[in-house]
Structure 1
């Protein structure tokens, strides 16, 4: 039973060490990059809120006009790969169309890329873009929390990986007793063989 527990301990230790050396560092690095990108984009929004919407080289300051122009461009998109069509609030704006879901997507990009589902409502599409950009501070905070959690998980995994097998002393004592028992059994076995051999020899002598 203790040997099975020791094997489980070793397997868990290897798994934790792998996470400590590879998984968590990779996750933390990725989250740090995303966090930096979110911070830059949130700051960029503050400086570009009045940048308006530019489509096909034409700048639209009025949201209703921008919505109408965006819908007109959306109807021309049939590419699954994003096609650059202009900018929105300082973010480059590309559009793509998914044939299977019959859905158009807007791709906003500055420090990193974002994907927003478009609909068939002129005002609604502009509202979706505004709501998405307005929600970036929340995404920033969520990313910061994920990074903190990942760092805590790394510390916990490292501490767990360094913990010794708690029943190591008990296992050693039992293994020592087991080895001694094997030695005793071998001694008894030799004694029995010696006795049996002597007994056979004595009987052979008596038969003569």
Structure 2
């Protein structure tokens, strides 16, 4: 389900079947068969662990070559953009007990009620999700789009970065929402800086882990060699019996052609021949 090679297949351990050679060795009290079964489980487990280790190494290499550099540069760009937008916001403050003013369709409105109403009127002309510029506010260009799924208008303030606001039906309430979205830039900057620090830490940890050998390589090599040695001693071919036993059993069979060459006795049926033919 995860598409990772170490877990693409598995054996049902509840339905483990013994081969003929294994049953024979167990009946004979051969301790090598138990050793062989234990080694088979250990070697399978170690091979899965090695495959998982190699997959992790490949992912670490990909992250060091592509993922971390891209994410680090992206977050650096976010930081620069937020810092520039914070400077723009600081350069366009509200006057004491006043309103900085809003430009809508070329008209500058200094009254909050009129500015909020004009913004709602401009929104009514927007019918699609494509952003339409309707004015500017505190140094940021304002774009309005209609979210058909949420059935509401969305305002985007664009500087170096984009700052989105969901608009309501209250003119003054919309202005408060816009100011709150702009005031959240310091928190966004802190979050991006923390994410950048985390990326640097992950990058250093990946550099320390990449290239490390499989820690159980020696154990896997020794147990695999011993498993091959036991298979040779027990002479298992994987089909339940050893090769010499199969050869002996095959050579001990009587030839059907030799039976056919023997002429039957007239007057008396060859019961033995008939019985042998029926068995075959």
Q: TM-score range by the shorter chain?
A: 0.7 to 0.9
Specify the SS of the correspondent of 1:148.
helix
CA contact 2:116–2:175 (8 Å) conserved in 1: yes
Match of 1:9 in 2: 53
Match of 1:43 in 2: 87
Match of 2:68 in 1: 24
CA contact 1:98–1:104 (8 Å) conserved in 2: yes
Q: Deviations over 1:135-194 (max 9, x none)?
A: 111101111111111111122122222322111232333345556x37x85xxxxxxx9x
1:114 to 159, 163, 175: 163
Q: Which has the larger radius of gyration?
A: 2
Give the RMSD, CA atoms, in angstroms: 2.2
CA contact 1:93–1:109 (8 Å) conserved in 2: yes
Q: 2:108 matched to 1:59?
A: yes
2:204 to 148, 155, 177: 155
Shift of 1:2: 1.9
After superposing on structure 2, the runs of 4+ consecutive aligned residues of structure 1 that deviate more than 4 Å are 175-179
2:184 to 135, 146, 165: 135
In structure 1, distance between residues paired with 2:158 and 2:195: 22
Specify the SS of the correspondent of 1:111.
coil
1:174 to 197, 200, 223: 223
Structure 1: where are the runs of 5+ without partners? 186-192, 194-208
Q: Deviations over 1:18-72 (max 9, x none)?
A: 1222222221121111111111111111112245311111112232221122122
Range that drifts further, 21-30 or 31-40: 21-30
Shift of 1:83: 0.7
Of Structure 1 and Structure 2, which has the larger fraction of its residues in helix? 1
Shift of 1:129: 0.3
CA contact 2:164–2:181 (8 Å) conserved in 1: no
Shift of 1:104: 0.5
How many residues align? The count is 186
Match of 2:78 in 1: 34
Provide the TM-score with structure 1 as the length reference.
0.80
In structure 1, distance between residues paired with 2:153 and 2:49: 55
In structure 1, distance between residues paired with 2:66 and 2:209: 16
1:68 to 99, 117, 128: 117
